[in-house]
A and B are shown apart, each in its own frame.
Chain A
């Protein structure tokens, strides 16, 4: 009797265990069908809304943003949008750089992406597989006014996916104008002149070039900002490089970028604790005038203004000079973009969001909150009168047409280890030629992963 009881109990237990497993599966399905229901109901809502025009029913979209991106402008547009269209945008902030890239890839692969995703344009975009994940907005009316140069970098295979998130910006040398005045220096047109300036600044007891290698991405700037000089000498470099025909190590003018980066360290122009200095500390050094130059993207200007509002007009910008004074121009970074998740449950709302972001109202809201860090990529949008001194410094280059997009916007090939390699090069740990060769090898992995022709 007791044996039978035992047996019966055991069978009961196993049945219960198995059924828990099955129930587990079942409830998941249920949850899924529930979200599907929700999807349908929101689409219905959205349709109703378009018919009624306004005041629309409250709708919410989710947006994935980078921690490092100065988002005052985006916040202003979002706030205005909430007033005008009753669309609430919920921001989700994630880390930038490779970590953020990885979060995006994982969330896209698991179907957990927000409605709108903020991400780079140019070479990084194909890694998110936009054709599969993002909504094609090539023919949307609101994209008509967007600059063609931008469209190329925010798209793949002739299709456009991205909405410009900000103005364009420039990678060049931010410098402290006060120090230049005090020491009687003038803006250099060649690399040799720049080195002379640095020598004088060093003699005056200040840091000539600020390095902030604790934040590894900042170490790439001298190399990347040199691209204007590369393409001025060798216009086919980007195409050859993408097709595996040209290499950094074997193209002298491209190798110059690595050499320049190393020279700054070799001649003792860098701050001694460059490897422990962060981006924020570097900006502080530049604004307070303990450092004279900081090779950086101009998106640093609003950050400087936020911390040192009285110092912002002391910060100027010049292009990284090459060896020929006649060929002196700026390397331009296209703005990052918003991409619409193809599988979003609220496509209609998100489309209105995009349209508003690029509308006159949207741009006005943006410009009211944050001063642009370079020209807009929207036709007819003018820079405000009270722009930063640094941005005004950039205008002559733009007016003379002496600008070129950075390499990462004209070639899909960019190696993931570049920050580490430029740190090695920029702290003189390894000869520049060797760094270039290592980078050429690093790039190969990326090209193969992307399945590019010729690799």
Chain B
């Protein structure tokens, strides 16, 4: 037995499990996306599922919504997370306490957060609108207004997710060597100079992780939308993932598999260039 074989044998069990529960279904899903499939029986129909997916308004509204959702949640988390991160790295007394508070929403289950906020956002009985009435402001229908519903969910997502972004930023900022700050103090730079010329460029790796993580997270969000609006009213807050789930529920297994293939390609096409772009910047520094 040569050394070569020996290593393969050790890999074998893991490789078997990996290919049976990951590789095989992936390859199969490319095939079944081109069929009309009833779980027990299938009929090959070429690219019809993909055509349906792109041509039907109830299906392709997901592309627009998903992009809005992913960019906005990611953007807000990047900016807010940075601000909170910088703030929590400064010399304040209750630093540790505030850090845990910022991170706290992230410990909650998404479902619980979604349910809580959908009752808070109820147009007549919800706490938010009742508070607004105290100040004589007529509240809006946060989740019922078609133009607003998606942004209400984005707000909740950011509230819940900004803690992780903050923690990553804090780690990034803490790892900046003190020498830079000392040099800046000797040169007489202001705190704005410190932020702009030291903190921001040197926490770039942290920012890149936040962008990638939150963007991918946004692209494949499902739970929060499902528990808050189920993609409604109508199709106003339908994301790709919720549309795929609905097709699966409707019994269109082929169509929903096609949707998954599209989601896979969609994420890949958006994220891989973004990743390469961000990494390049990092090297340039």
Contacts and interface: CB of A to CB of B under 8 A. Distances in A.
A449 B38 contact: yes
B123 A420 contact: no
A420 B234 CA distance: 4
Contacts of A453: none
Q: What size tier do the contact residues of chain A reach?
A: 35 or more
B13 A275 contact: no
B285 interface: no
Interface in A402-455: 416-417, 420-421, 423-424, 427, 429-430, 438, 441-442, 445-446, 448-449
Interface residues of B, number: 37
A173 B9 CA distance: 70
Contact of B38 (A129, A424, A441, A442): A129
A445 B248 CA distance: 12
A429 B36 contact: no
Contacts of A274: 144
Given A101-B249, A101-B251, A7 B1 contact: yes
Contacts of A276: 122-124, 141, 143-144
A275 B233 contact: yes
A216 B144 contact: no
Given A10-B10, A420-B234, A273 B246 contact: no
Given A129-B40, A445-B52, A445-B252, A420 B231 contact: yes
Interface in B168-216: none
Interface string A18-43: 10010000000000000000000000
B141 A445 contact: no
A109 interface: yes
A438 B249 CA distance: 19
Given A21-B16, A423-B233, A273 B1 contact: no
A194 to B, nearest CB: 25
A98 B16 contact: no
Contacts of B16: 21
Interface in B234-248: 234-236, 246-248
Contacts of B232: 213, 216, 275, 420, 423
Given A99-B249, A129-B40, A449-B38, 20 more contacts: A7-B1, A21-B13, A98-B246, A102-B249, A109-B39, A216-B230, A273-B123, A273-B141, A275-B141, A276-B141, A416-B250, A416-B252, A423-B234, A424-B234, A424-B235, A427-B144, A427-B233, A429-B236, A449-B36, A449-B252
25 contacts: A7-B1, A10-B9, A18-B13, A98-B246, A98-B249, A105-B251, A132-B40, A213-B232, A216-B232, A273-B123, A274-B144, A275-B232, A276-B123, A276-B143, A416-B247, A416-B249, A420-B58, A420-B234, A423-B234, A424-B234, A429-B146, A429-B233, A429-B234, A442-B56, A445-B255
Interface of B: 1, 6, 9-10, 12-13, 16, 36, 38-40, 52, 56-58, 122-124, 141, 143-144, 146, 230-236, 246-252, 255
